[in-house]
Amino acid sequence: MSAEQKKAYDKARSRTRVNIGPAFQRRSELKCRRPAIGRRGSKVCLDINKRLSLPADIRLPDGYLEKFNLNSPLFDKPLSRRLRRVSLSEIGFGKLETYVKLDKLGEGTYATVYKGRSKLTDNLVALKEIRLEHEEGAPCTAIREVSLLKDLKHANIVTLHDIIHTQKSLTLVFEYLDKDLKQYLDDCGNCIHMHNVKLFLFQLLRGLNYCHRRKVLHRDLKPQNLLINDRGELKLADFGLARAKSIPTKTYSNEVVTLWYRPPDILLGSTDYSTQIDMWGVGCIFYEMSTGRPLFPGSTVEEELHFIFKLLGTPTEETWPGITSNEEFISYNYPRYRADCLHNHTPRLDNDGVELLSKLLQFEGKKRIAAEEAMRHQYFHCLGERILTLPDTTSIFALQEIQLEKEPGMRTNSLSESGKTTKRKWPMNEDS
């Protein structure tokens, strides 16, 4: 490189910020926005982009890009796992000092979650710090969450940016979102605009469909595990109870899903289930968004089933074959309730919405509508056809015709009266 070329290169580099997409982030979004500094420099930027999958808006350390520009055997042969790990470490990944803790968001049995900021990107992040016991090691929920999320790249699934492992803790670095669906409901006075209900429900189904296509069951859907940002993007979070269903099995636990969103077959002891376990929870959440109140707020399994049967009718052999031989069902000895009309309980839902809700709230898992079919239901017809063909990593709000409506009753809680940021409870299941 001549002196003039080097001078031009240094000048361009001094005023340039490299934007390369997240560490575990979707590759289709990896775009290098660095202006051209010659064919070789552009190639190196694109190679780093492709090979290392770095976080968005990253600020590479001084001299890092130049090192690869001048001497880059890294890209002349397949990149080994060890070399990739070393390269990421040099940039700052996997290091606690790369992130600054700001506020404590929540605490569970094994984990504490902090709001933080990345020194690499200057963006807000959520730091889920999982304490490691000397003899027990990492909780199985953390291992599941990491193993699943690192392979799930979707616009409606929370992004895992980084993993930091020390002797005392395992820290998962997530993208930060402003609030969860429960808080959104509270801020709206429990009355969400019905157009926004439709957009949130579609995004929930879209994220679930992506998971289900990959045989991943979330198993803990509830408003607290659905995160929402200012743009209205809804993302599935907390995969601590999730499982990958690669082959048929009858050995799954029935100690899953928060009680209010747990389907009746699981409440009655079934361990033989598939993706339909999540669809009952979708129905409960759909109802809650539409009415502002939980559908089946039971405090025990028996009370939960009582609420379900009082609305949908006590099941019989005709409505649920085999139910009369279920020992737990027999032991509860429920009154013979007749099914009530869902229209009477959901005055803000139109006929299409009530029909979709009914298809989600089926006693038997095999009768519940699947996520992909639900996305194509008439209820979403007004959103247009293009929303069904978007790439997995593209937000629905990339479409000009899709916009969030202003919530008339929305109160802002981003700042308290003292000017301090209001803390948000990050989703954590009981095991984390």
User: Residue 233 in 3-state DSSP?
Assistant: coil
The answer to whether residue 151 is catalytic is: no
- Give the integer Cα–Cα distance in Å for 276 and 261: 13
Cα separation of 25 and 11, whole Å? 30
Q: How far apart are CA 83 and CA 431, in angstroms?
A: 35
Contacts of 263 (CB under 8 A, 6+ apart): 257, 276, 277, 280, 281, 365
Active-site position among 57, 62, 76, 220: 220
Residue pair 21/29 in contact (Cβ under 8 Å)? The answer is: yes
**Residue 210, both tokens:** 């992506």
DSSP 423: P
In this structure, what DSSP letter does residue 90 have? H
DSSP 8-state assignment for residue 39: H
Which residue numbers belong to the known binding site? 128
Query: What is the rounded CA–CA span in Å between residue 399 and residue 397?
Result: 5
Could you tell me which of 152, 156, 151 has the C-alpha nearest to residue 235?
156
Q: Which of 74, 75, 218, 58 is nearest to 145 (CA)?
A: 218
For residue 340, give Cα distances in angstroms to 17, 69, 192. 60, 70, 24
**Amino acid at the residue 227:** L
Binding residues for ATP: 128
Which DSSP string corresponds to 49-82?
HHHH-PPTT--PPTTHHHHHHH--GGGSSPPPHH
Reading the block at residue 386, the tokens are 């293009």
Looking up tokens 């020390």 gives: 166
**Token pair 């390269």: residue:** 87
Nearest to 115 by CA among 432, 431, 326, 421: 421
Catalytic (active-site) positions: 220
